[in-house]
Structure 1
Amino acid sequence: MRAPLGVILAGGQATRMGGSDDNLVDKGLLQLGTKPILSHVIDRFDPQVGGLILNANGDANRFSAFHVPVIPDASGELAGPLAGILAGLDYAAERGFDHIVTAAADTPFLPADLVPQLQLQSEITAAPVVLSATPCPERKQQRQPTFGLWSVTLRDDLRAALNDGLRKIVAFTQPRGNAYAEFALTGDVNPFFNVNTPQDLTQAHDILKG
């Protein structure tokens, strides 16, 4: 399988960090250690993919220091991560990629083997979408749907679903037979830990130190 296009999703409003319709807050630009969270994400994600773009709304110049193409949501309605995924699928299809892998911009400890494990499950199951998961004692698996391998053949279906008002990733993927790749915890650290609140940022600093 050809290396997929990596799509970092940063199109949310970050309401728990004080964001709103009129005040977009970029969690990826928050400082973690010696560099922004987004730099941690890029450093872990970029070696795994055949190209990298950032999905974000608003003025793209605020990300110029990262030297990554910035594309907005497929619609201007802030329709959640599916809109960013569609934008990534369209961008990938125009450039000859067969798949994209998505990751969130606020997850500085994402798995270093994210893409290989997703691709492995894709080859085993032939599923058009492979989403990530972690072990969970109560439910066997905790889904991490923002992190997934997507075939570009899904983009027309996804466009229609968004136009019909669908907003949940799993609501789109389950009827299409998605598979899951499970990633182990590293000690007590969830590799998909994301920074949603100021308290989470403090915890991320503690994890980084550890």
Structure 2
Amino acid sequence: MIKKEAITGLILAGGRAQRMGGIDKGLISFQGKPLIDCAITRLKEQVGPIMINANRNITKYSVYGYAVIADETPDFAGPLAGFLAGLKAAQTPYLLTSPCDSPLLPIDLAQMLAVELEKTNAQLVYASTKSANGRHWAQPVFCLMRSDLADSLRTFLSKGDLKIDHWFTELRTSTVVFENEDAFANVNTPEELHALENAAK
């Protein structure tokens, strides 16, 4: 059984947030608290160390007392760049990733993914959801991976490809389907923020 102390939690807050007008999404208020605060609250009981991947407002994120790590490249290269920064910095055998803009993320995310990773001997396990019509949707930024994947990811990114699902095809992967689709709802626009706040009341 993978213990939570063996997992580093990485909160991804390094994006441009263009659809939010360029505002740093992790610092946007959700029900009176910054989104990053919500993510930390949901993750801190599931993992050992926590790191925040951010490319701006480093001082504001540092206030939370966790390591803040930036992408290797300064061009906001997307989640995989955050993954790589996390893999390089992690001191535990496993890395759990989650975006900063999903304030309702499952409180059993790490446990469910860890069980699947051990059962299948996968290198990486990601979350999926099932919609009302029964269709499965991948939630690839919510994943648990072995921390020895840094070289694989660095080689993949050196080809200029930034798509998560393309990297996954090079690995032994599996997925866990979570029943509560709303737990993975994220905030990309002001309208989505208001809708999620109302739904979470």
Q: Which residue of 2 aligns with 1:113?
A: 108
For residue 150 of structure 2, what is the aligned residue in structure 1? Answer: 155
Q: What SS does structure 1 have at the residue aligned with 2:74?
A: coil
- Output the CA distance in 1 between the equivalents of 2:184 and 2:198: 15
Trace 1:37-186 onto structure 2 (pairs within 5 A). Answer: 37-92=35-90, 95=91, 97-136=92-131, 140-185=135-180
The residue that corresponds to 2:199 in the other structure is: 207
Aligned residues: 198
Secondary structure of 1:48's aligned partner: coil
Read off the aligned partner of 1:206 and give its amino acid letter.
N
Distance 1:78 1:139, change over 3 A: farther
SS of 2:182's equivalent in the other structure is coil
| Structure 1 gap ranges (5+) | 20-24
Equivalent in the alignment of 1:9? 12
SS at match of 1:49: coil
Stretches of structure 2 lacking an aligned partner (at least 5 in a row): none
Q: Which amino acid aligns with 1:6?
A: G
Across the aligned residues of Structure 1 and Structure 2, the Cα RMSD in angstroms comes to: 1.4
**Larger mean Cα displacement after TM superposition, 82-91 or 35-44:** 35-44
Question: Secondary structure in 2 aligned to 1:175?
Answer: coil
CA distance in 2, matches of 1:71, 1:103: 15
- Residue 187 of structure 2 is matched in structure 1 by 195
Letter paired with 2:107: A
1:171-210 CA-to-partner distances (Å, cap 9, x unmatched) read 101231210011111xxx511100110001101210221x
1: CA distance, partners of 2:57 / 2:82: 16
How far off its partner does 1:138 sit?
5.4
132-141 or 109-118, which moves further after superposition? 132-141
Once the two structures are overlaid, the 10-residue window that deviates more, 28-37 or 197-206, is 28-37
**What amino acid is aligned across from residue 200 of structure 1 in structure 2?**
E
Map Cα deviations across residues 96-127 of structure 1 (whole Å, 9 max, x no partner): x1110000000000001000000011011111
Determine helix, strand or coil for the equivalent of 2:136: strand
- Give 1:34 shift: 2.4
**Aligned partners of 1:2 and 1:98 also within 8 Å:** no
TM-score w.r.t. length of structure 1: 0.90
Give, in whole Å, the separation in 1 of the partners of 2:31 and 2:81. 31
- Percent of pairs with identical residues: 37
Alpha-carbon shift at residue 139 of structure 1 (Å): 6.8
Aligned partners of 1:5 and 1:100 also within 8 Å: yes
C-alpha change, 1:108 and 1:124, in structure 2 (3 Å) is: same
Is the CA contact (8 Å cut-off) linking 1:128 and 1:150 kept in structure 2? yes
Deviation at 1:140, TM superposition (A): 2.9
Q: CA deviation at 1:74?
A: 2.6
CA shift, 1:30, in A, is: 1.0
Alignment partner of 2:145: what SS? strand
Q: Deviations over 1:32-53 (max 9, x none)?
A: 1121111111101111001100
For the residues of structure 1 that align with 2:61 and 2:122, how far apart are their CA atoms?
34
